[in-house]
Structure 1
């Protein structure tokens, strides 16, 4: 009986030792195969998220720093002689002044002289719009006086008119004169980023003024190429 008791005690002692060893081994295995990789994975995920955030910030900064990119064509609705039309206008860059604009089919943009371009109707080049980009420090009162004097040469009856209901022409000065079926209109546009003089030459039987104005609304000043 005593031998049996001793034997049982010895077995219990051995079992306790083996259980302790197993626990330590499992802890080591978990440490080697489970806990540390999970922690490393979390760190890697955090690092990846941070990198993605940095990439997004760099992309946003890059987008804000880039110049405006214009598409090559734009659909446009306009009227000629009271008839409404729709067509695709194509982007043109002035070779004479630092701007781009969309030009409808049937019209052509060309340089007239330094700092002056003309956009004319190809079927009748007497129907055209002169485009002048003005310096930012231009004397606006002097420009208005000179413009009125130019229209006086067409007719002594120079009329002031309302600007089109469009943000591009907001606060623009408009003058008109007519004589023997010839119509001349001047639009002086002064914006924060653009000072512009438009002089339109049309006729009673070839009224392209609204078409010219629709194209003029797309004028965008560009930085000179260095």
Structure 2
């Protein structure tokens, strides 16, 4: 009986010492070490949340911007090195060498003249001066105004534009650039049509080669 008591006491003492050792090891961690572990856990959680919100590492593909819807069939000039999208109800034809005309089928007094000039041969400042003179010649008494509103300019590189009200309508003109060319366009619009907005849309799709 005494032997069992001794054995029981020894076993209890061993368990007590083991428990004290475990408690001491746990309590021996410094406050700095405890805070560091907690900080690492929070940073890991924040990174996971951020990746989930941004779609990174979740297998989600980045969305690409949608291409603009075409406004009409793309046609190529057989007279100059350009193409553009032609709105239904309009036609493109050569007027003379290095000059094309897009006209409104229902009233060909409403039209846009297009000229492309190689950058090696042209001068932007001179083209703008000539454009202003051409518009002013439509009505010597008219007031030529520079176009400042982006909504009234074609969506192209380096656009500049002028407009003037004339008897029975409006004349407007633009100079802009492509990689290899300067482009000069003049729109003659009449009051019972007023298609300048559609001409500008078509001009915005012009590409040279």
TM-score by length of 1: 0.56
Q: Which residue does the alignment assign to 1:157? A: 143
| Long gaps (5+) in structure 2 | 1-68
Q: Which residue does the alignment assign to 2:96? A: 113
| Long gaps (5+) in structure 1 | 1-73, 77-88
Mapped partners of 2:156, 2:111: distance in 1: 19
When residues 100 and 189 of structure 1 are mapped into structure 2, their CA distance, relative to the original with a 3 A threshold, is same
Deviation at 1:192, TM superposition (A): 3.2
SS of corresponding position for 1:134: strand
How far does the alpha carbon of each residue in 1:183-221 deviate from its partner, in whole angstroms, 9 at most, with x for none? 110011124343101100102221111101111111111
CA RMSD of aligned residues (A): 1.9
When residues 163 and 193 of structure 1 are mapped into structure 2, their CA distance, relative to the original with a 3 A threshold, is farther
Describe how 1:40-51 pairs up with structure 2 within 5 A: none
Mapped partners of 1:173, 1:216: distance in 2: 13
TM-score by length of 2: 0.60
Mapped partners of 2:189, 2:171: distance in 1: 6
Q: Which residue does the alignment assign to 2:25? A: none
Mapped partners of 1:128, 1:160: distance in 2: 20
Deviation at 1:167, TM superposition (A): 7.9
When residues 136 and 163 of structure 1 are mapped into structure 2, their CA distance, relative to the original with a 3 A threshold, is farther
Q: Is the 8 A contact 1:163 1:172 kept in 2?
A: no
How far does the alpha carbon of each residue in 1:91-147 deviate from its partner, in whole angstroms, 9 at most, with x for none? 211010111111111100000000000000011111001011112031222212211
Number of residues paired by the alignment?
137
